[in-house]
Structures are given as structure tokens and as C-alpha cells.
Amino acid sequence: MIARQLRLRNLGGIIIIDFIDMENADHRAAVLAELNRALERDRTRLTVNGFTQLGLVEMTRKRTRESLAHVLCEPCPTCKGRGALKTPQTVCYEILREILREAKQFNAREFRILASQSVIDMFLDEESQSLAGLGDFIAKPISLQVETLYTQEQFDIVLI
């Protein structure tokens, strides 16, 4: 079953298989022999290093084509395949840094932040002092506008 899953998913690299609580050396040898026999049908280059002291089987397998997940899936449009989203607070800090950079570079009368509802809510609540402090520091007003179509990580700063 392990050998079949390796081929089916086209896994590659270093693979660690944990045979929980297998302490008997005869059982380990039998399992290793069966694994090697099942892996003989695999046409890719692989090596099985046997059991470690911790009871793990280490092996390497060279991938021959794209993995099944790569073929059947596409990256998330929100996180771009990273698997994580920045928190609203993190996005707020990015926006504050960007406003500071743009204030040094351009002479705008006002800065308008276009962002998702969660980011605007963060600016209105927990980060209101940071936003007011930055507005005082650059001596320009900063306004907020919710963009309902923006994801949590999307924002724009409009110079007015």
C-alpha cells in the first residue's frame, strides 16, 4: 500500500515511514523485505536505507513528473499558494509603512486607504492610534474606504 501511494501521488525526495512500536527485529526484516518487493514495480530511482534507531524507514525517491496535487489543483488566488493569509493587523502595518514611504516621495494633500472590511475595522479599533500618529507625523490627513471586493491582503493607497 505504501509503494502504491508513493507511485500514485508521485512523491519524491526524502521519505520517512514510521512503523509505530515495531521492536521485534524479525518483524522489521519482514516488513522491509515486503516493502522492497513492492517497490520493485516502481520505475523511478529510489533507495531504501532500512530502519533507524527510532524505528523509522528512510528512503529517497526521484520524482518523474509533476505531483498529482500539482496537476489537479491550482494555487489559492488569495494566498497565492502559500497556505496562509496575513492577519489584518499585519496588513495594517504594511499600509502604514507604505504611506510613510509615499509621503517622503510624493507631496499629496491627503492619503486614502482602500482595503477590505477587516483591515479597515482594525484601523478603526486597535490601530487607530497608530494611524492618527502617522497622520500627525506626515502632517497630512489619512482617510479610510472599504472595498468589498478586496481580499484581506489587498489594499491600495490613493494620493489625493
Strands 111-115 and 13-18 turn out to be unpaired
- Chain-centroid distance of CA 26 in Å reads 42
- pLDDT of 112 strictly over 90: yes
Q: What is the pLDDT of residues 24-45, one digit of tens each?
A: 889 888 988 998 898 888 888 8
Q: Which long-range contacts (CB under 8 A, 24 or more apart) does 123-132 make?
A: 123/92, 126/89, 127/89, 127/92, 127/96, 130/92, 130/96, 131/92, 131/96
Q: What is the CATH number of domain 88-159?
A: 3.40.1260.20
Domain residue ranges in the chain: 2-72, 88-159
pLDDT at 111: 97
Distance in angstroms (rounded) separating the CA atoms of residues 33 and 22: 15
Q: What is the pLDDT of residues 76-110, one digit of tens each?
A: 888 888 888 999 999 999 999 999 999 999 999 99
Asked whether the whole model's pTM tops 0.85, one would answer no
Average pLDDT over residues 11-27: 86
